[in-house]
Amino acid sequence: MNDLLLRVLKGEETERVPVWMMRQAGRYLPDYLKLKAQYDFFTRVQTPELATAITLQPVDQVGVDAAIIFSDILVIPQAMGKEVLMEEGKGPSLPVTIQTQKDVDALITENVEENLKYVMDALSLTKKELAGRVPLIGFAGAPWTILCYMVEGKGSKTWDKAKQFAYTQPLVAHSLLQKITDITIAYLKAQVKAGADTVQVFDSWAGSLSPADFKIYAQPYLLQIADALKGDVPVILFPKGTWYALKDLSESGAAGIGIDWCVSPQAAREFTGSKITLQGNFDPSKLLAPIPEIRKAVKEMIDGFGKHRYIANLGHGIMPNVPVDHARAFVEAVKEFGTK
Amino acid sequence: MNDLLLRVLKGEETERVPVWMMRQAGRYLPDYLKLKAQYDFFTRVQTPELATAITLQPVDQVGVDAAIIFSDILVIPQAMGKEVLMEEGKGPSLPVTIQTQKDVDALITENVEENLKYVMDALSLTKKELAGRVPLIGFAGAPWTILCYMVEGKGSKTWDKAKQFAYTQPLVAHSLLQKITDITIAYLKAQVKAGADTVQVFDSWAGSLSPADFKIYAQPYLLQIADALKGDVPVILFPKGTWYALKDLSESGAAGIGIDWCVSPQAAREFTGSKITLQGNFDPSKLLAPIPEIRKAVKEMIDGFGKHRYIANLGHGIMPNVPVDHARAFVEAVKEFGTK
């Protein structure tokens, strides 16, 4: 079994740097696009056979060292009782948003394992199909990021409505964040029971907050999740855009931290010392560069992070317009330059 | 004359911290919205009487310590011969983008003072109307940010087409960046001649680049502009999202650096020492908080930066949905807590 990822997360020495890519299942893969043409988004997510097939595609076709279950962070608002729409080309939306304590009180936090049974089924099926080839990663959105969607109802450049909600009703915001945290912990524990070997928490919009507000509205909930799961599996935290929090997070219960591309590998190491495994941070847009440029940048990235306690990845999700052979060149370059 | 801003940019001690707000002229002001209902965007920008009236509004109505000329960074692509559209609610767009060296070669870099005479006329008229009340700030977009729009043709979350252009055709990208730099220097010098007391360079999309690529595609051109202008007026650089470059920029020809809200004031000072004036960095969304919260956060910001070599401002442009009395509360809080 290729357990490079899990060994690196435990801090063990490995023969080579493991590699996977955020959003590796989907978008840019022709076989995914065929399924996308046949089935709508939630059918793909909620049908274990489809989610499994999509999850396995990058393992088989791109050669990554881990599978990450095909799902969406917005299954949590759904499990809490909110309708989530996913219209092609428009991004996700929630027709009814959270604005008051009453709205928060009405949210469901029980029975997440049953309500999201299709995710557990997809994990179990994927685990079986993988047959030990590579580890399986589960995931969830971080509380702040989920709050952003639940309050704004759709994507935003500034998340100013979510922030206004937090700044004007901090107690309501904290009660919502705690509810999301509680259900997310239960959800991730259920994912582990269903077969996830490690879990990643995506705080995609953490970077919308100032450092002071990140400490109030995001970090405490990330730490709760890391602490609650650390006895089960290694936890990777990915709070995008929060270079200033790297030191604090490196001293948390997390086993790894995802780094976006706006931090140099050297600076990321400086902020975190050798205390934690780092993951990242290739500029997703650089996969559009010619292959020799990709290879050169991969080598520089590995030289920057070093080959110990390091997982090669992108600094954010892979984009739909990346040619598959460029994705493959990225993975192959890590395997070449990341071998000890 | 209230010349607090200019004295702080020179590094002089002042009796109080000066304050202005990016995008202070426009959007959130009822009197601006009245003009907006009557005249389209480019009429407002290109009619000196209108641009002057809009520029003066926040000085008269909000009490800021500087006027910044009402204009747009995309007047430079226009002066270079590209059509720019500004459709209500859709953001700016350029119907014909730059893709090749031939496209770059066809760009106009001469006669910017004549081609953008309406900006100079607006500056002269505003200067006259201000009658020394507060200093007048001129501005331009930074070369990387202007390239982003010229290559993508419209706003983008990732600027991946602009980056693909740079990564696949670096020589073409550099020739475009140099052309933009040359015309921007001439443009800013003309603004100074017309009455600008200081100029700010907005690199709004600098943060889309990795630290290594910022050094290649953005920083050198920012430094060229700062060096070219420093004999004329103090230059403020505002490369949003590039905390990692603060040290380098603090050693440049710039007199001041604008800081976004994703850096703590303390960290910004640590990165730059006491070598340069810092400007910023109130979270624009925090102007939606209740006024007592705004006042508290202003005090914390001033305590963090200190009262020497510091200009209070937002960390990005003011948003259209900010109540005017909140903007005024921000300005008044700086005047209260920023007095020595």
C-alpha–C-alpha distance, residues A86 and A26, integer Å: 15
Give the per-residue pLDDT at A4: 98
Q: What residues in B contact A300, CB-CB < 8 Å?
A: 212
For chain A (340 residues), the mean pLDDT of every run of 10, in chain order, is 96 97 95 96 96 98 98 97 90 96 97 97 98 97 98 96 98 98 98 98 98 98 98 98 97 97 98 94 98 98 98 97 97 97
Smallest Cβ–Cβ distance between A244 and the set B209, B213, B264 belongs to B264
Give a yes or no: residue A136 inside a domain.
Answer: yes
Q: Count, in order, helices (H) and strands (E) of chain B.
A: 17, 9
| The total number of structural domains that make up chain A | 1
Per-residue pLDDT, B220: 98
pLDDT of residue A90: 85
What does DSSP assign to residue B286? Answer: G
State whether A319 and B160 contact (CB < 8 Å). yes
Strand B277-282, strand B310-314: pairing: parallel
Rounded to a whole number of angstroms, the distance from the CA of B245 to the nearest CA of chain A is 11
Bond into A281 cis (ω within 30): yes
Separation of CA B38 from chain center: 26
Domain presence at residue A64: yes
Question: Residue B10 corresponds to which amino acid?
Answer: K
Give the global pTM. Answer: 0.97
**CB contact (8 A) between residue A160 and residue B285:** yes
Using an 8 Å CB-CB cutoff, list residues of chain B that contact chain A: 157-160, 163-164, 167-168, 207-213, 241, 243-244, 261-264, 267, 283-286, 288-290, 293, 300, 315, 319, 321
A294: in domain:
no
Instruction: With respect to residue A339, please indicate whether it lies within any of the assigned structural domains.
Output: no
Cα separation values, B261 from B44, B243, B266, B316, B324, Å:
30, 10, 12, 8, 21
**Facing A289 at nearest CB: one of B168, B209, B211:** B168
Residue A309, sorted as left (phi over 0), alpha (psi -120 to 50) or beta, turns out to be: left
Cross-chain CB nearest to B262 (options A211, A283, A290): A211
Predicted pLDDT at A1: 85
CB pairs under 8 A between A and B: 100
Residues of A in contact with B267 (CB under 8 A): 211, 244
The C-alpha atoms of residue A243 and residue B256 are separated, in whole angstroms, by 23
* Alpha carbon B2 to its chain's center: 21
Residue-by-residue pLDDT tens, chain B, 340 positions = 899 999 999 999 999 999 999 999 988 999 999 999 999 999 999 999 999 999 999 999 999 999 999 999 999 999 999 999 998 778 899 999 999 999 999 999 999 999 999 999 999 999 999 999 999 999 999 999 999 999 999 999 999 999 999 999 999 999 999 999 999 999 999 999 999 999 999 999 999 999 999 999 999 999 999 999 999 999 999 999 999 999 999 999 999 999 999 999 999 999 999 889 999 999 999 999 999 999 999 999 999 999 999 999 999 999 999 999 999 999 999 999 999 9
- CATH of residue A27's domain is 3.20.20.210
Q: What domain range is A227 assigned to?
A: 4-236+246-255
Q: Are A259 and A250 in contact (CB under 8 A)?
A: no
Contact B262/A212, CB-based, under 8 Å? no
Would you state the pLDDT for residue B235? 98
Give the ipTM. 0.96
pLDDT attached to residue B173:
98
